[in-house]
Each structure stands twice: as structure tokens, then as C-alpha cells.
């Protein structure tokens, strides 16, 4: 296995945390066939859409387009995070755990329930 890039290390740490917490997630393809500005990681936490943009280090900032997408996600009721350090991943993990704890006792996610036809 080759050396991992700094951003790859962030993505790997983030994926490990999401797996440990049994959060559904995926990495959208970044091969030119996708939509520009989409976060690096898409996940759902208790029915809530979450986008996570990964950067190699705290001095690396999202592009203007990535920030526009972040704003659209939050305006639509989702969450958006920037993962650019282990501390940022720890903060995201704390938020995810709070969401998961808030759901205990109901047996259902906190998102909208499916409508019957």
C-alpha cells in the first residue's frame, strides 16, 4: 500500500470514526463525473443529511463553491462540517454521539418519518 496523502489520512480517520459509530456514509466519486462542490463525505445521522468536507490541514480552506454548497445544505436542514484536523474529527464525533444519544429510547431516527402512500 502506498503512502497516504495528508487529506487521505483525514479521510481515513473520519471513515474509521463513522464506522465505529455505525453511521451510514459514502465518498462521492471525484472523477469529473460528479457535481462540483459536493462534500467529500456524505452521511446520514438519525435521518439528518450531513456533508463533510475534508482538507489536509487547518490552513487549507474550502473553496467558494464548497462554501456555497455548505450554505445550501444547511438551508435545506442538513449539517455541514469541515474536517481539517484530528481535533475537528473529534468535534464531529462529539456531535454525532450527541445525535445518537438523543435518539435512545425511541428506537427511531430523529429525521422525518416515511409517508404512507
Diameter over CA atoms, the chain: 51
Q: What is the pTM of this model?
A: 0.84
* Burial class (CB within 10 angstroms; exposed 0-12, middle 13-18, buried 19+) of 92: buried
Residue pLDDT, tens place only, 22-44: 999 999 987 777 788 999 999 99
The three cell numbers of residue 99 are 445525535
Q: What is the 3-state secondary structure (H, E, C) of the chain?
A: CCCCCHHHHHHHHHHHHHHHCCCEEECCCCCCCCCCCCCCEEEEECCEEEEEEECCCCCCCCCHHHHHHHHHHHHCCCEEEEECCHHHHHHHHHHHHHHHHHHCCCCCCCCCCCCCC
pLDDT of residue 43: 98
* Beta carbons within 10 angstroms of residue 117's beta carbon: 3
At the top level of CATH, the class of 34-103 is alpha beta
Residue pLDDT, tens place only, 64-99: 999 999 999 999 999 999 999 999 999 999 999 999
Q: Would the pLDDT of 111 be above 60?
A: no
Contact of 70 with 62, CB cutoff 8 Å = yes
Amino acid at each position: 500500500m502506498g503512502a497516504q496523502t495528508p487529506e487521505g489520512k483525514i479521510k481515513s480517520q473520519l471513515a474509521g470514526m463513522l464506522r465505529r459509530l455505525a453511521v451510514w456514509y459514502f465518498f462521492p466519486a471525484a472523477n469529473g463525473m460528479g457535481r462540483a462542490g459536493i462534500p467529500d463525505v456524505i452521511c446520514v445521522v438519525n435521518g439528518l443529511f450531513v456533508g463533510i468536507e475534508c482538507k489536509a490541514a487547518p490552513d487549507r480552506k474550502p473553496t467558494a463553491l464548497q462554501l456555497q454548497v455548505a450554505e445550501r445544505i444547511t438551508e435545506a436542514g442538513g449539517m455541514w462540517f469541515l474536517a481539517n484536523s484530528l481535533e475537528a474529527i473529534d468535534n464531529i464525533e462529539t456531535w454525532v454521539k450527541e445525535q445518537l444519544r438523543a435518539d435512545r429510547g425511541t428506537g427511531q431516527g430523529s429525521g422525518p418519518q416515511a409517508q404512507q402512500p
